Amino acid sequence: MNLETIVGIAQIVATITVVGGTVFGLIQLAEFRKQRRDAVAGELMRAFMNPEFAQAITVVLEELPERASADDVRRADPRVERAAVLINTTFETMGLLVFERIAPFPLAVELVGGIVVVMWRKLQPWAEQIRIEQSQPSWAEWFQWLAMQCERHKNPQAPAYTQHRDWVP
């Protein structure tokens, strides 16, 4: 075997090593993204399985009319405004996570697409009044954005329990 043959073999081995390393890196990157998406999904589910959040949703649904004014929220039991703030901050966080593509939008729509729209309809005048009072136009900005996106992209077809009734694991 001469020197030229050895150099040729070395170049082939080096090329295979670089290509193999690149493929391995891409596979690892895809796996990392999947793990991150799964972790975010778990955190989102945990946020909505929180009894305090569930209670806040119940309070707002039961105590406030559609498009409740800031005065309606403030005149109600003090727990109503606390519930409104908790709902706002939770959906605010989720909206930003979706926008930054940390949380997948289809997952957010399936998890909270309906309730985020309902909560925004109930709390919008309250949030807008706080924006004015505090000279803070960004108050509830991601909550509003998420509600608008969910309303625009919610699947109008039959609900999951009928749409997927024949699903088999």
- Looking at the chain, the whole-number percentage of residues with pLDDT higher than 70 is 96
- 130 within domain boundaries: yes
Instruction: Give the angle subtended at the CA of 167 by the CAs of 165 and 169, to the nearest 5°.
Output: 140
- 123 within domain boundaries: yes
pLDDT tens for each residue of 18-70: 888 888 888 898 888 888 777 777 777 777 678 899 999 999 999 998 888 88
Claim to verify: residue 56 and residue 31 sit in the same structural domain: no
Q: Provide the whole-model pTM.
A: 0.74
- Per the prediction, the chain carries an average pLDDT of 88
Stronger pLDDT, 40 or 109, i.e. the higher one: 109
- Residue 158, classified by CB atoms within 10 Å of its CB into exposed (0-12), middle (13-18) or buried (19+), is exposed
Claim to verify: residue 79 and residue 123 sit in the same structural domain: yes
Look up the domain containing 71 and give its range.
50-154
Number of domains in the chain: 2
